[in-house]
Each structure stands twice: as structure tokens, then as C-alpha cells.
Structure 1
Amino acid sequence: MLLDGRSVLVTGGSAGIGQAIAIGAARQGANVAINYHGDDEGAEHTLDQVRQAGSKGIAVKGDVADPKTAEEFVSTATKALGGVDVFVSNAGICPFHAFLDMPQETVERTVQVNLLGAYYMVQAGARQMVEQGRGGSIIAVSSISALVGGEFQTHYTPTKAGVLSLMQSTAIALGKHQIRCNALLPGTIETDINRDDLSDPEKRKYMEARTPLGRLGEPEDLAGPAIFLASDMARYVTGAALLVDGGMYVNLQ
């Protein structure tokens, strides 16, 4: 039970990677609070799984693009769970679109959710951890796209590079408070974000062939790495970027 008795907050916890991390944390003994935007059914499923693991779980609805959501999420979770030990900033969007006719509203919404949303959520979580005075772990879900480009992701890849950079800078800013900050960089993970893109059999076959492990990732593949970074097993790990991509990034030939 690597997270026994700890309070873990996860944004975007109603589906995909966030849901898998929330459930995985509960199975390691953590009490869990999730933030989610619109999927009530998905949020309830997460909470059901958290409670089946014997842990306490709450859900707080709100749009991470609104800075007030971060304050409300952390405040509500702190009251319900007794504090914040681990904060996982995961919420993100990626509406695929060509570069030359990219709508302004698509760019701005992606930046607001992926980068500014992460910034304000991490800041709120860090403030609570500093006030508590017992350290903590902050994990942000960046992406392999922080390191490589994507033809239909020109609005998305800069935000994920920004999230990676945010973890590097906060690791420096918060180290004196014994708060560790690290980034997870998933490769191609099958979630709602890319389900339409991967529905093309040829695209799917190509992505699988690019991955040395021979398959696309599943949300549960991120739970273990997140739990490691959240736990005392990673007590001297901060400012790190952990690729979870089946080897895709290094497969250049």
C-alpha cells in the first residue's frame, strides 16, 4: 500500500488516464478527490471503483480553464480528505485540426485548458501543501508531444511542452518546501482524446508498428508510474520527465 492514508487529487478524473490514476491510487490505500468537467457518469464510475477499493472518494465538478475552479477543488478536497499529499494535473484536450486554417477559438481553448488550467491547479495544490508544511508530490501529465511535433497538433504540442517546463520550474520553486514536481509523458494512449483518430485502421497499424512493445498504451499503463512518483519510492526524484510510451520516442529507424 504505497499511498496508504494519503490524500490524492486528480484533475480530469472521470475518464482515461485521470480515471486510471485515481483508481490506482485508491487501490494503493489513498483517499481520492477528482475534478471533472462534464461526464457525470464517468465521475461516478471512478468514485465507485475508489470506494470498492476501501477508500474515500469525492468528485468536484468544474472547468479547469477557470482559475476559480482550482481554488474550489483544492478547498473542497482539503475539507473532505484532511489535506493534499499528492496532486495530479491531468485534464487536457486535443481537438485535431490542420495548422493553416486552425480556428482561433480552438487554439485559445486548448491553451486555457491544457496550460493555464494546469498552472492554476498546480499552484492551488502547492499553496495547500506549503500551508500544511509536510511536503508532497505534484505530478503533471504532459505528453510525448512535448518532445516531438504533430501535423494536426500545432496548438496542442506547445501546451504539453509548457506543462513539462512548468514541472521543471516548480521543482526548483517548491523544493525548499519538500514538494517534488515531476512530469509523465504518455505516448499514444487510447482515450477519448484520440479515439476518432485511431479509428482509421491504417493509422492505428502505423502507430502500433512505431511502438517497440507492439501495442498502443492503455490508461492503466500510466497508473503505476504515477503511483511511483507519488510514493516514497521516488522521494529523491523531482524535476524529472518519465516517458511512458512503449518505446515510441526512441524508435527512429
Structure 2
Amino acid sequence: MLLEGKTVLITGGSSGIGAAAAVEAARQGADVAINYIGADAGAHDVVARIEALGRRGVALKGDVAEPDTATAFVGRAADALGRVDVFVSNAGICPFHAFLDMPAATFERTMAVNLHGAFYMVQAAANRMVAQGGGGAIVAVSSISALVGGEYQTHYTPTKAGVHSLMQSAAIALGRYGIRCNSVLPGTILTEINRDDLADTGKRERMAARVPLGRLGEPEDLAGPIVFLASDMARYVTGAALLVDGGAYVNLQ
């Protein structure tokens, strides 16, 4: 029960890493509010799983790329659940595309969701934490792509490097208020974001073979690290980045 009595807000919480983190937070004793933009069914399912664990769950729809969505989500979630103790910035997209003919709209949308959305959401959550007092924890889902390149990710990797950097700077700006800011850097995780890219069985097997632990990641593999960074077990950890990639980053041979 690492998050007992706490309230956790998560963006992109209706599927993938966000959904896994939301359910695990509830399992660890937290009430959870999720932001989502996709189909309502996925969000409702996550709320049902949270409530089945005896915790309160709230799902609020909105596009993180819009600045007003951040203040609305944080405000409505706090009104429903009482306060904001933990904020997880997870929402992100990666429409794979070649560099030389990258449409401006694809680049701009990826930036707006992944980086601008993270900034607005973290800022809104931090303001709420400062106003209520008592500190808090912010965890951003960056990526191994913050550290390495990708031929079809020239629009995506800069956003994830930016999210990692945002947490480093926010850790300095918010430390005086007792708010810790850290990031997790997933490797290749089997989610909706890369479903089409990994539909090729051969490619999926080749990528798994490069991982020292012998498999690609699953959303639940991120839930534990996120909960740890959000919990008081990490009370002296801020400005840090935790690789969760099965060892892929260090496997240079």
C-alpha cells in the first residue's frame, strides 16, 4: 500500500502505460483520476477496475494539447477526489514517419501533445500542489528515445528528450515546495502507440532479441517504477530518470 491515502492523476490513462499505472496506483491504496481522449469504453473500463479495488476512480475527457484542458482536468479531478498528491504525465503519440517528407501537421501535433501537453499539465498540477501545501510527486513518462535516435521518429525523440529535461528543471523549480519531479524512460513497450509498427512478427522478434531480458516490455512493467517514484520510498529522489527497458540501452554489441 505504497500510495495509501493519496490521490493520483494520470494523463493518457485509458490504455497502455497510463491504464496500467492507474490500476496499480489503486492497488497501492490511491484514488485515481485519469485524463483520456480516445474511446469512452477504455476509460470506463479503467475506472471500473479502480473501483473494483475499493478506490475511487474518475475519468475526464480532454485533449492535452489544449492549455485549458490542463487546468480543467486538475481542477475537476481535485474537486472530485479532494486534492492532488501525485501527477503522472503520460499522454503521448508517435505517428511513425520518414524525416525528409515529414508533414508540418504531423510534427506540430506530436510536439503539441507530447511536449506542450506535458508542460501545461505539469504546470497546472504543480500550481495545485503548491496552493494546497504538503508537497507532492510528479512523474513524467519520457522514453529511451530521449537518449537514442529513431529513423522514423525525428519528430518524436525531441519531445521525449524535452519531457526528460522538463522534469530536471521542474525538480529545481519545485523542490522548495516539497514537490519531487522524476521521469521514467521506457524501452519498446507493446502498446497502441506502436501496434502497427510491430505488427510484423519478424520485426518484433528481432527487436526482442536485442533486449538482454529477452522480451519487449508490457505496460505493467512501468507501473511499479512509476509507483515507486510517486511513493515516499523515493522521498529523496528528484530530477532523476529511470530506464525501464529490459537492458536495451546498454546492449551495444
Instruction: Specify the TM-score bucket, using the shorter chain as the normaliser.
Output: over 0.9
Mapped partners of 1:199, 1:39: distance in 2: 22
Residue ranges of structure 1 left out of the alignment (5+ in a row)? none
Aligned to 2:189: 189
How big is the shift at 1:203? 1.1
Q: What residue in structure 2 maps to residue 236 of structure 1?
A: 236
Cα distance in 2 for residues equivalent to 1:155 and 1:167: 20
Ranges in structure 2 where 5+ consecutive residues have no aligned partner: none
Could you say what secondary structure the match of 1:198 adopts? Answer: coil
Measured in 2, the distance between the counterparts of 1:100 and 1:88 equals: 33
Cα deviations by residue, 1:124-151 (Å, 9 ceiling, x for unpaired) = 0000000011000000000000000000
Which digits, 9 at most, give the CA deviation of each residue in 1:178-200, with x for residues without a partner? 00000000000000000111111
Aligned to 2:9: 9
Q: Report the residue type matching 1:24 in the other structure.
A: E
* Counterpart in the other structure of 2:103: 103
User: Percent of pairs identical after alignment?
Assistant: 72
Partner of 2:30: 30
Alignment TM-score, normalising by the size of structure 1 = 0.99
1:201 Cα offset (Å): 1.7
Report the 3-state secondary structure (helix = DSSP H, G, I; strand = E; otherwise coil) of the residue aligned with 2:168.
Answer: helix
Deviation at 1:19, TM superposition (A): 0.3
C-alpha separation in 2, matches of 1:72 and 1:45: 22
CA-atom RMSD in angstroms: 0.4
Q: In structure 1, what is the Cα distance between the partners aligned to 2:199 and 2:213? A: 20
1:165-176 matches, within 5 Å, as 165-176=165-176
Residues of 1 paired with 2:237 and 2:107: CA distance? Answer: 33
* 1:38 Cα deviation after fit: 2.0
The one-letter amino acid paired with 2:30 is: A
- Render the CA deviation track for 1:75-98: whole Å, top value 9, x for unaligned: 001101110000000000000000
Q: Distance in 1 between matches of 2:39 and 2:222?
A: 21
Tell me if 1:163 matches 2:163: yes
Return the letter of the residue paired with 1:180.
R
Distance in 2 of aligned mates of 1:114 and 1:140: 11
Measured after TM superposition, the shift of residue 166 of structure 1 is 0.1
- The letter for the 2-side match of 1:235 is R
Shift of 1:248: 0.3
Give the TM-score of the pair, scaled to structure 2.
Answer: 0.99
